[in-house]
Amino acid sequence: PFPIYEEFRKHSPVRYDQERNCWDIFLYEDVDYVLKHYELFSSEQQRLIRRDNMLRMDPPRHKQLRDLVNKGFTPRAIKELAPRIQEITEQLISNVLDQGEMKMIDDMAMPLPVIVIADLLGVPAEDREKFKVWSDILVKGVEDPQPEVYEAVKREQEDVHQQLKEYLSYILERRRFHPQDDIISSLLSAEIDGNKLTETEILDFSILLLAAGNETTTNLITNGVRLMTEIPDIQRQAKSDLSLIPSMVEEVLRYYSPVQAPSRIAKQDIELQGESIKKGDIVVAWVGSANRDEAKFPAANTFQIDRKPNQHLSFGKGIHFCLGAPLARLEAQIAFEKMFTHFTNIRLKEAAQIKRTPAPQMFGVVEFPITFS
Ligand code: HEM
């Protein structure tokens, strides 16, 4: 999509799409502005199923919930998970080490975040596969203007939402009497202004973690490996200096951003680049374009492993800044480090086709088979 974004940045950086009935915005300064100004651009939109979660809330409720869960997701708290993430990654790598090839998504990039989130929620190992299937359906974007398609996907999502809720509520009931060291247990004892969270609030938050964290992290890891194959110099540089990995992860996030476009609803009439956005209009903030904006990033279309500064917008900006960013970063850093340690000469398997995941607001591939020595 990147050449198209560039066209739009040059000629129509704020444009109305008649078919999708929304505004698309492409410049870094505008995307940054829209995401920062929650008082002008609301997150309370219900285009898909009704999801009462913090991603779709405005202040003050957003702040209350966010304050409550923040401490479990600080970089320091997340760092404690490193040994467990390393163990899972080593295990996944040892499964394929002798084969000289692997399916990047099925063998590593998909299971790693699913196992980590399932662990955090207190879900037993035997239910993980079920989780993966559910979370995939939950995040499937529906841009389809055909009412039948839209309705069908919406129904499917409502079903899955219900199934997940029932399953998690079973875990929740068990934790009520036997608290463990997991998120559901800690939310059961949490309070806002002296009030406990309702069961529904706890379940909706748990489902949000699944929906927001799995496919995105899978895509980050896979996009990184894809870049290793497209620009083999990355392998040479990072292998000889593993301390480059954290900045490599940031550059992967900028260059192939897993989330391309969060959206908002205008809360009042507002002008951007001379275009008049009306109250109630949908505004799609193309982070994937902002991250390639030359006005912000010199040589924006060049992958620079040690790029500094690198203020990409891939985790959003402002009050909704990704809660899971420290976790996603850590998982990707460990995955890349283990790959550089165990593999050389990582390549896309011969004759494999690269096919993009269908939702335009995400950036990933459906499969990515690799070979290695
Ligand atoms: C919010 C991206 C991983 C949980 C966001 C937003 C973005 C984003 C762009 C802001 C959306 C908006 O402003 O409308 C990503 C990317 C990830 C990732 C690219 C991986 C590379 C995760 C993980 C978790 C997570 C691993 C949880 C374990 C959340 C939550 C929010 C959020 C709860 C809502 C925060 C709020 O509304 O205050 N993420 N995310 N994300 N993300 Fe992530």
* Structure confidence by residue, pLDDT tens digits, 182-211: 899 989 988 888 888 889 889 989 888 888
H helices of the chain, in order, are 2-11, 28-36, 61-70, 75-79, 82-96, 104, 111-121, 128-139, 147-177, 183-189, 199-230, 233-240, 245-255, 287-290, 325-342
Residue whose Cα lies nearest atom 2 of ligand 1: it is 315
Domains plus CATH for the chain? Answer: 2-349 (1.10.630.10)
Q: What is the ipTM score, two decimals?
A: 0.98
358 preceded by a cis bond (ω within 30 of 0): no
Specify the pLDDT at position 267.
Answer: 96
What is the bridge-based pairing of β-strands 263-266 and 270-272? unpaired
Residue 222 has pLDDT above 70, yes or no: yes
Any residues with CB less than 8 A from the CB of 203 and at least 6 apart, and which?
165, 168, 169, 172
Closest-lying ligand 1 atom to the alpha carbon of residue 117:
28
CA–centroid distance, residue 238 to ligand 1 (Å): 27
CA–centroid distance, residue 216 to ligand 1 (Å): 8
More confident residue, 369 or 111: 369
Cα 150 to Cα 129: distance, rounded to the nearest angstrom: 26
Specify the pLDDT at position 83.
Answer: 97
List ligand 1's pocket residues with C-beta within 6 A. Answer: 35, 43, 54-55, 66, 117, 208-209, 212-213, 216-217, 220, 258-259, 262, 314-316, 320, 322-324, 327-328
Closest-lying ligand 1 atom to the alpha carbon of residue 43:
14
Closest-lying ligand 1 atom to the alpha carbon of residue 327:
26
- When mean pLDDT is compared over 72-86, 179-193, 225-239, the highest value belongs to 225-239
- When mean pLDDT is compared over 45-49, 65-69, 74-78, 222-226, the highest value belongs to 222-226
Closest-lying ligand 1 atom to the alpha carbon of residue 332:
21
Residue whose Cα lies nearest atom 6 of ligand 1: it is 322
Q: Which of the residue ranges 51-60, 170-179, 230-239, 310-319 would you say has the lowest mean pLDDT?
A: 51-60
- Tokens coding 325: 């960013």
